[in-house]
Chain A
């Protein structure tokens, strides 16, 4: 049951009738989403603290790589003394065979002393985006998925829950989130509907970092397995070891 301001209005049925298409089919025009093209590489810059790697963003990076031709780079900012080797190689070995401008998108990850992840794209027309959840939303939007208002609200709500309660909340809050996740995953195979959304990615990342993954209820465990069966998740899993 979804809580809406108008408590009489139950949207549960609407959601179930909503169809989500798989990530790989929809065509998305990057130029349309990211603004005017000047014939140069469009570079997304993400600053993140190596003491708390934003796992969901790394998963999204892998997913984006499946869709677009992406030039990935990892740098260390001078505000950080040392970064573990596995984080420096989190995008694997990069072989740049083509000229930079032939890539559709640049993805530059900078390990930096920041309180929370930060994303910069166009500094003229866009303010920096702060917080792992918000950046995840932006990156996910690049797949060009269209959802109806209710579904997107639901996805948004799960992203916030994952970041503020599952990742940063008290153990009591975490327990509550796990229970509601378990309930949701009893009905559908993913948190929202039957296709993977940003909600799953962020929630999975948060759960990995809380360390309570093993204590999760059955449906959540099953869901985590489904996540980890996907290559982008399993490659990020390897980073944690």
Chain B
């Protein structure tokens, strides 16, 4: 056989194969082995084909593929491998014959799972659909196989276990992987088709967020994360040492967004980490998450801003529906859920309507009482039942339950120009028209008992003329989780941070 030009073959590892006798000469010796470590020695012309592109159109072509050994199963003179690349996989067959010797089959069968291999093979149309592979209509008949990076023999978790849907009852008692094991071994857990799909979709959310806002004439800004004063009151803030004094980690970019508005950027957004020192161990709280923040100057009514934010989210939902259908299906296989439904334009209810709906459903609550988590969920169900939407806005919150910088309602002083947005009954965005008048801001801060010295810089920002403005912040992980109908925000944070987890 002609020597392969690209990679040098170093022979295979005798001990792990246990083949002592070598009864006959190996005629395929050059066609398999462990490749020497790639140190960028050469730059061969070899073209590697993506596994997702291996379809019947490529039938009978000889291709090179790089993938991981997902599973391997030896059976006499042949060995079936499943090669995986991101969410996609294909069945490969190494069978004793013209191109492969008995030794080569044995070598292939003994490569540890998760190892990365380069394979040369002929694409063949499968006689029947191959279940369990994304490329169901073709298989790869291997002619050469070289190990590029060997995985250790024992894996901390099995990928097949990690994508198994959780079934109710004692269906078959097959293994699943618990969340801590997954998070402790996140690199492997992230390789699963479900994780791959989740984070592709999350990237899509960011992309669509940017695309939509830039099209609407927004400017992306970067704000500092190390700040001198706690932005919202002072609770729930991380203190870090800062040379000889201390500083805080930003709880939200709000002050800086507002300063940009005062600096005449008119419409701004930013994507960045946000820190919350809340000791809450729930399915939806993280101590560090990615905030998608919007702030916008408006002409006469803050609904101009609400409509813009809501439309941005609708454009994101539509974009996901169009561009990420494969990813949504992949996640649904493990975590089945109803497709995300929404209305255009977005449904906007007022807080008093929400209270009325809840009262009608038998909940006792005051007009100025905040929504408790169970009531929030119940309201989500009631709204879904009536309007069949998983996304809606609740407008006009009672002033008493909102931060001091929230603009009061011009008619009813007990209400405010503030709003929350909900996905599948859970809050994803909180926002308001901000007070842009230093006098009123001072009064409101005093009313809340806030030390004026501490927020002097904030109030001073509005002293040199400030446009009326409103905005809000969205949690990226929550949006991803709720769009896909997942039940824990840790599934949609690559390396989640919560009160109990700081690694990996």
Contacts of B361 in A (CB 8 A): 124
A124 to B357, CA, bound (A): 9
A59-101: which have CB < 8 Å to B? Answer: 75-79, 99-101
Could you tell me if B343 and A76 are in contact, using CB atoms closer than 8 angstroms? yes
A75 near B350: Cβ-Cβ < 8 Å? no
B359 touches A78 (CB 8 A): no
Q: Tell me if B360 and A75 are in contact (CB < 8 A).
A: no
Does A211 lie at the interface of the complex (its beta carbon under 8 Å from any beta carbon of B)?
no
Contacts of A40 in B (CB 8 A): 350, 352-353, 355-357
Interface residues on B, range: 20 to 34
A207 CB–B CB distance under 8 Å: no
Q: Quick check: is A110 within 8 A (CB to CB) of the other chain?
A: yes
Q: Which of A36, A100, A122 has the most CB of B within 10 A?
A: A100
B residues 399-449 near A (Cβ < 8 Å) are: 411
Per-residue contact bits, chain B 332-357, to A (CB 8 Å; 1 contact, 0 not): 00000001111111010010110111
- The answer to whether B215 has its CB under 8 Å from any CB of chain A is no
Residue contact B356 to A123, C-beta cutoff 8 Å: no
Interchain CB contact under 8 A, A75 and B411:
no
Give the Cβ gap from A175 to chain B, nearest Cβ, in Å: 39
Contact present for B359 and A100 (CB under 8 Å): no
Residues of the B chain whose Cβ atoms lie less than 8 Å from the Cβ of A120: 385-386
> Shortest distance in angstroms between A101's beta carbon and chain B's nearest beta carbon?
6
The verdict on B382 contacting chain A, using a C-beta distance below 8 Å, is yes
Q: A75-B344, A101-B350 known; A110 and B382 CB under 8 Å?
A: no
B321: chain A residues within 8 A (beta carbon): 78
| A124-B360 in contact (CB<8A) | yes
Give the size range of A's interface with the partner.
Answer: 20 to 34
Whether a CB of chain A sits under 8 angstroms from the CB of B60 is no
**Which residues from chain B contact A167 at a C-beta distance below 8 Å?**
none
> Min CB distance, B366 to chain A, in Å?
13
Contacts of B355 in A (CB 8 A): 38, 40
Q: Using Cβ atoms and an 8 Å threshold, which residues of chain B touch A76?
A: 343-344
> Contact between B385 and A123 (Cβ–Cβ < 8 Å)?
yes
Within 8 A of A (CB), among B183-211: none
Partner of A41, one of B340, B350, B386: B350
Q: How far is the CA of A144 from the CA of B204 in the complex (A)?
A: 53
Give A77 Cβ to nearest chain B Cβ, in Å.
6
Interchain nearest-CB distance for B343 vs A (Å): 4
Cα–Cα distance between A82 and B387 once the two chains are bound (Å): 19
Q: Are B382 and A100 in contact (CB under 8 A)?
A: no
Min CB distance A152 to B, Å, is 29
Q: Is B19 an interface residue (CB 8 A)?
A: no
Interface centre among B318, B339, B353 (most CB of A within 10 A): B353
* Contact (A39, B317) CB under 8 Å given A77-B341, A123-B382: no
Given A40-B350, A122-B360; A77-B386 close (CB under 8 Å): no
- Cross-interface CB contact of B356 among A38, A47, A125, cutoff 8 Å: A38
CB distance from B483 to the nearest CB of A (A): 12
Asked if A75 and B352 make an inter-chain contact with CB atoms under 8 angstroms apart, the answer reads no
Asked if B264 CB lies within 8 Å of chain A CBs, one says: no
Residue A112 at the chain B interface, CB threshold 8 Å: yes
Given contacts A120-B386, A123-B386, contact A100 B350 (CB under 8 A): yes
Does the CB pair A75–B343 fall under 8 Å? yes
Which residues of A are found within 8 Å of B318, using beta-carbon distances?
78
Q: Which residues of A contact B350 (CB under 8 A)?
A: 40-41, 99-101
User: Which residues does chain B contribute within 8 Å of A78, judged by CB atoms?
Assistant: 317-318, 321, 339-344
The residue that B353 contacts in the complex, of A36, A41, A47, A122, with Cβ under 8 A, is: A41
A30 smallest CB distance to B (angstroms): 15
A85 to chain B, nearest CB (A): 14
Q: State whether the Cβ of A209 lies closer than 8 Å to any Cβ in chain B.
A: no
B388 interfacial by beta-carbon distance below 8 Å: yes
Interface residues in B347-379 (C-beta closer than 8 Å to A): 347, 350, 352-353, 355-357, 359-361
Cα–Cα distance between A72 and B341 once the two chains are bound (Å): 21
Check if A45 is an interface residue, CB within 8 A of chain B.
Answer: yes
Contacts of A110 in B (CB 8 A): 343, 387-388
Chosen A-B contacts, 22 in total, with CB atoms closer than 8 Å, are A36-B360, A38-B355, A39-B352, A40-B350, A40-B352, A40-B353, A47-B388, A75-B345, A76-B344, A77-B388, A77-B389, A78-B343, A99-B350, A99-B411, A101-B350, A101-B352, A108-B347, A112-B388, A120-B385, A123-B382, A124-B360, A124-B361
Q: A45-B387, A125-B360 are in contact. List 11 more A-B contacts (CB 8 A).
A: A38-B359, A40-B353, A40-B357, A43-B386, A78-B318, A78-B321, A78-B339, A78-B343, A99-B350, A101-B352, A123-B382
B interface with A by C-beta (< 8 Å):
317-318, 321, 339-345, 347, 350, 352-353, 355-357, 359-361, 382, 385-389, 411
